[in-house]
């Protein structure tokens, strides 16, 4: 399996990945309507194509099939992990940590910290973040914001 920077040929596959896997993952946690809204807002071709063009999306490629997606971004002066999802059949094998490592490795050398957010109901994401060194900064409106020191 190769983890690599996404290119424009990956955009539609990334959008499909969101529709097929992210929506199904979130529906039991936040409800069908909220999960559908989340995918429409964050996994549409305009959003994904822009992030890919900026070089902020990585994919795990297994022989031409998408096994995982990660996206980094900025929130003001802060570096943020925007997306980090692994196909259900590849969970538990360290792929999420590999994607995260590549995203963090793309940050400037002087980056002091990186942030991540997840829905509070997403216990799997919370456990992953804790294993990867993120600590809770705050919880607002059901969203947990975490930080990881990079120094």
**Which CATH superfamily, name and number, covers 2-149?**
Gcn5-related N-acetyltransferase (GNAT) (3.40.630.30)
Confidence grade of residue 140 (pLDDT, cut at 50, 70, 90): very high
Share of the chain above pLDDT 90, in %: 86
Average pLDDT, the chain: 94
Taking a C-beta distance cutoff of 8 angstroms, is the pair 1, 66 a contact?
Answer: no
Across the range 5-33, mean pLDDT stands at 93
* 84/82 Cα distance (integer angstroms): 7
* 81/90 Cα distance (integer angstroms): 20
Phi-psi region of 52 (alpha: psi -120 to 50; beta: other; left: phi over 0): alpha
Q: ∠ at Cα 118 (117, 122), nearest 5°?
A: 160
* Domain residue ranges of the chain, discontinuous segments joined by +: 2-149
Taking a C-beta distance cutoff of 8 angstroms, is the pair 27, 35 a contact?
Answer: yes
pLDDT, residue 92, reads 85
């Amino acid at each position: 399996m190769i983890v690599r920077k996404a290119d424009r040929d990956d955009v539609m596959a990334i959008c499909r990945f969101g529709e097929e896997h992210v929506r199904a993952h979130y529906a039991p946690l936040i409800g069908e309507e909220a999960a559908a809204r989340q995918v429409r807002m964050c996994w549409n071709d305009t959003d994904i194509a822009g992030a890919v063009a900026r070089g902020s999306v990585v994919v795990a490629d297994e022989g031409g099939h998408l096994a995982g997606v990660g996206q980094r971004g900025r929130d003001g002066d802060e570096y943020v992990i925007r997306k980090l999802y692994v196909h259900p059949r590849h969970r538990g094998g360290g792929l999420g940590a590999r994607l995260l490592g590549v995203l963090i490795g793309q940050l400037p050398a002087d980056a002091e910290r990186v942030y991540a957010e997840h829905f509070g109901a997403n216990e799997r994401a919370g456990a992953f973040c804790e294993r990867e060194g993120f600590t809770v900064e705050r919880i607002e409106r059901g969203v947990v914001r975490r930080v990881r020191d990079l120094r």
